[in-house]
Structure 1
Amino acid sequence: MVISIGLEGSANKIGVGIVRDGEVLSNPRRTYCAPTGHGFLPRHTAQHHRDNILKLVKQAIDEAGVSIPDIDCVSYTKGPGMGAPLVSTAIVARTLAQLWNIPLMPVNHCIAHVEMGRQVTGADNPTVLYVSGGNTQVISYMNQRYMIFGETLDIAVGNALDRFARVLKLSNDPCPGYNIEQLAKQGKKFIELPYCVKGMDVSFSGLLSHIEGTAVKMLAAGDCTKADLCYSLQETVFAMLVEITERAMAHTRSKQVLVVGGVGCNLRLQEMLAVMAQERGASLCSTDDRYCIDNGAMIAHTGNLMFVHNMDTSIEKSGITQRFRTDEVHIAWRD
């Protein structure tokens, strides 16, 4: 029996989770929300993490009902992510590992999303659509690596949604993407937007520039509503993602698709993926915001897997990597 504590702080969520052999014992987190119309800056986010992380460590331990001697390893997000928040979280993880004299596990944030998704849904060997504020990838497993079949060529889908929310002056509470999703449900008019699929990759920056210009002109002229624009943006970018995911499934002959990452909470995206999967005789595996959105339990769970396979690192060699690729990680725990 292995108990791992995991610290996640790669973006605007700070979370601490405790996991025992795949069972989530606790998973508290807090979110930094920037003022309406603004994105979250690294220095403000890092300060938020520093203000909250020790409280969350205590809360996680109390909720899990474990004592410090019960914990076998400390896991933390090595990357990818924003530099200042990652550093703030890593410093606490290194300190705890030394204070408690237990191994330190540097976890890849993307791999943690995938492994948590597999654990929660029971997915065996799915094609993975990983969509978040900082990452957009279609992933498949092969030879102890998670291989990237396709990805964004510029900005992530979550970033595109967040930036458009700022154009419309939507609140960042609880998150911009969620507020776009709710507004899109009221949309009635579809506005054609650039559809940028390039082989197995997607591009969102040109589409975003186009709709930003369109939004200002059409709203001013009364030709559409904010809801129409949110609806049109969602339908377009999600169709792009479903297309490349289906192409990867056809290539790998996969019968499961797993969606992970913060944008994976979007019910419209889940609906579109489910239709595609059903037409292929496959199934969709998805979770809710407890595990789609960045959380400490996914770091703890992946650290648990790494601990069993002796993948710890020394304090001297620990650190962060802002551009930590999904396909760089050796997946020792899978055949």
Structure 2
Amino acid sequence: MKKKMIAIGFEGSANKIGIGVVTLDGTILSNPRHTYITPPGQGFLPRETAQHHLQHVLPLVKSALKTAEITPDEIDCICYTKGPGMGAPLQVSAIVIRVLSLLWKKPIVAVNHCVAHIEMGRIVTGADDPVVLYVSGGNTQVIAYSEGRYRIFGETIDIAVGNCLDRFARVLTLSNDPSPGYNIEQVSMIVLGSGS
């Protein structure tokens, strides 16, 4: 029986640090993560976010391996978010994976955060050649695959939708737990439900 290829991936481009263990066919073996929660009305700063990631990354590695019921010897490659994202938090993941790569003698695969989201959507939907509206904290773009790579065909020139929601939530002094957009939605349902 042929062994399944297994990858461990690190995502730390913003206020969440997560580690996923997956097989080549897309089976998720584990996916522990921890979110940096700031007081309501406050955003997260790169330095404090990086300190959060540094504090939680090693326990998350242990948790990911334990939940997946694997050892480092069974891992074929180590993936990480290279960007885009916040520089300091991204650097934490990059340093950790470089150390693990040397310790475990595994190759490194750098992943573009935006492309990873698009590829996950392609896998889930079965789409072959999608045109994508990519909306995140730092991006609002129309993206499609053309001439061997993903290309941006249009984007906001002022503020990304996700960033707008984050800022609006801070003005309302809403928490970023579990996310500003979700909390805005909950407040709006309460207000609309009460007829205010």
**Does the 8 Å CA contact 1:16/1:27 hold for their aligned counterparts?**
yes
Amino acid at match of 1:123: A
What is residue 125 of structure 2 aligned with on the other side?
Answer: 121
Once residues 146 and 18 of structure 1 are traced to their aligned partners in structure 2, the CA distance between those partners, rounded to angstroms, is: 25
What is residue 65 of structure 1 aligned with on the other side?
Answer: 69
State, as a whole percentage, how many aligned pairs show the same letter: 64
What is residue 135 of structure 1 aligned with on the other side?
Answer: 139
Once residues 162 and 180 of structure 2 are traced to their aligned partners in structure 1, the CA distance between those partners, rounded to angstroms, is: 9
Aligned pair 1:16/2:19, yes or no?
A: yes
Which is helix-richer, 1 or 2? 1
Equivalent positions of 1:103-114 (< 5 A) are 103-114=107-118
**Does the 8 Å CA contact 1:33/1:175 hold for their aligned counterparts?**
no
State TM-score, norm by structure 2: 0.92
- 1:124, distance to aligned residue in structure 2 (A): 2.4
Kindly indicate whether structure 1 or structure 2 has the higher relative contact order, using CA contacts under 8 Å at least 6 residues apart: 1
Deviation per CA, 1:275-311: give whole Å up to 9, x if none. xxxxxxxxxxxxxxxxxxxxxxxxxxxxxxxxxxxxx
Between Structure 1 and Structure 2, whose CA radius of gyration is higher? 1
Which of 89, 92, 96 aligns to 2:93? It is 89
- The count of corresponding residues between Structure 1 and Structure 2 is 191
| 4+ residue runs over 3 A deviation | none
What is residue 161 of structure 1 aligned with on the other side?
Answer: 165
What is residue 9 of structure 2 aligned with on the other side?
Answer: 6
- 1:64, distance to aligned residue in structure 2 (A): 1.1
- 1:187, distance to aligned residue in structure 2 (A): 4.9
Structure 2, unpaired ranges of 5+: none
Structure 1, unpaired ranges of 5+: 189-224, 229-335
- 1:136, distance to aligned residue in structure 2 (A): 1.2
Amino acid at match of 1:69: D
Once residues 81 and 180 of structure 1 are traced to their aligned partners in structure 2, the CA distance between those partners, rounded to angstroms, is: 23
State TM-score, norm by structure 1: 0.55
**Does the 8 Å CA contact 1:78/1:109 hold for their aligned counterparts?**
yes
- 1:185, distance to aligned residue in structure 2 (A): 2.6
SS at match of 1:117: helix
SS at match of 2:58: helix
Which is strand-richer, 1 or 2? 2
Amino acid at match of 1:85: P
Deviation per CA, 1:5-41: give whole Å up to 9, x if none. 0000000010000110121111111100111111001
What is residue 332 of structure 1 aligned with on the other side?
Answer: none
Once residues 62 and 130 of structure 1 are traced to their aligned partners in structure 2, the CA distance between those partners, rounded to angstroms, is: 33
SS at match of 1:185: helix
Once residues 76 and 142 of structure 1 are traced to their aligned partners in structure 2, the CA distance between those partners, rounded to angstroms, is: 25
**Does the 8 Å CA contact 1:76/1:89 hold for their aligned counterparts?**
yes
Once residues 62 and 129 of structure 1 are traced to their aligned partners in structure 2, the CA distance between those partners, rounded to angstroms, is: 36
Once residues 179 and 29 of structure 1 are traced to their aligned partners in structure 2, the CA distance between those partners, rounded to angstroms, is: 20
Segment drifting more, 119-128 vs 5-14: 119-128
What is residue 188 of structure 2 aligned with on the other side?
Answer: 184
Equivalent positions of 1:1-335 (< 5 A) are 1-21=4-24, 22-188=26-192
Once residues 52 and 147 of structure 2 are traced to their aligned partners in structure 1, the CA distance between those partners, rounded to angstroms, is: 39
Amino acid at match of 1:11: A
What is residue 303 of structure 1 aligned with on the other side?
Answer: none
Once residues 171 and 66 of structure 1 are traced to their aligned partners in structure 2, the CA distance between those partners, rounded to angstroms, is: 36
Amino acid at match of 2:67: E
